């Protein structure tokens, strides 16, 4: 028995470096996976999934869900005449685009919730104000019904009415979406610490897909 016990102890001691290496690798980001946001529909957890859509970007080019390709993406809802909240949020997103500029598998999508006033030319001027890379960051307009369906039913963003108007809605949230069009993170766009979390989570999600390809 003592000899068997000694062998078991020896195996454990020899395995410790391997076990520690695995644990350290998994703990690089402080977590092993991102949540998949779901809603309870009649007792079944259904992931928040982004439906198909067709909108127009700041360069007057059609942009659909298929246009995203094999990329993860980061989305928000805004309007160009918003005086303070939206510029702050989009300023934070600008920082995220800079931090992730070498990650070609990430897109940024900003949807206007005021499509009647935010025409393609207005969005183009707005995008130029933020000096965006058109291939990385899309400002989208189109049918109000399409945009609102995405906001309410796909992203399930926390929506609030804009003060002094009942014509459109607004959200301070930014969402991280995976390649299966599922919501994997929701962040307060006004909170810079949460923007840093968004950047870290996006990098982690990309690493997860890279690791899957290696298997």
Buried b (16+ CB within 10 A) or exposed e, 4-13: eeeeeeeeee
Report how far residue 89's alpha carbon sits from residue 189's, in angstroms, rounded to the nearest whole number. Answer: 5
DSSP track, 76-95: EEE-TT--SHHHHHHHHHHH
- For residue range 155-180, what is the model confidence (pLDDT) as tens digits? 987 555 455 544 566 789 999 999 99
State how beta strands 137-140 and 106-112 pair. parallel
Model-wide pTM > 0.75 = yes
- For residue range 27-67, what is the model confidence (pLDDT) as tens digits? 455 778 899 999 877 778 889 999 999 999 999 999 999 99
Q: Give which of 116, 108, 181 is closest to 145, Cα–Cα.
A: 116
- Over its C-alpha atoms, the chain yields an Rg (Å, rounded) of 21
């Amino acid at each position: 028995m003592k000899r068997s016990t000694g062998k078991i102890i020896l195996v454990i001691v020899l395995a410790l470096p391997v076990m520690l290496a695995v644990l350290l690798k998994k703990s690089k980001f402080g977590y092993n996976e991102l949540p998949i946001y779901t809603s309870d529909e009649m007792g079944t957890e259904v992931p928040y999934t982004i439906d198909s859509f067709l909108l127009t970007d700041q360069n007057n080019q059609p942009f659909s869900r298929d246009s995203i390709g094999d990329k993860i993406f980061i989305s928000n809802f805004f309007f160009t005449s918003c005086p303070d909240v939206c510029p702050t949020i989009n300023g934070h997103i600008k920082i995220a685009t800079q931090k992730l500029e070498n990650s070609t598998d990430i897109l940024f999508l900003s949807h206007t919730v005021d499509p009647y006033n935010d025409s393609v030319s207005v969005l183009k001027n707005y995008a130029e104000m933020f000096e965006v890379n058109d291939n990385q960051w899309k400002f989208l307009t189109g049918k109000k019904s399409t945009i609102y369906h995405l906001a309410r039913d796909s992203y399930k963003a926390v929506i609030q009415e804009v003060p002094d108007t009942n014509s459109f809605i607004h959200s301070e949230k930014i969402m991280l979406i995976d390649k299966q069009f599922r919501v994997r993170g929701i962040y307060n766009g006004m909170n810079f610490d949460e923007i840093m979390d968004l950047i870290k989570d996006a990098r982690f999600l990309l690493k997860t897909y890279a690791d899957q390809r290696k298997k």
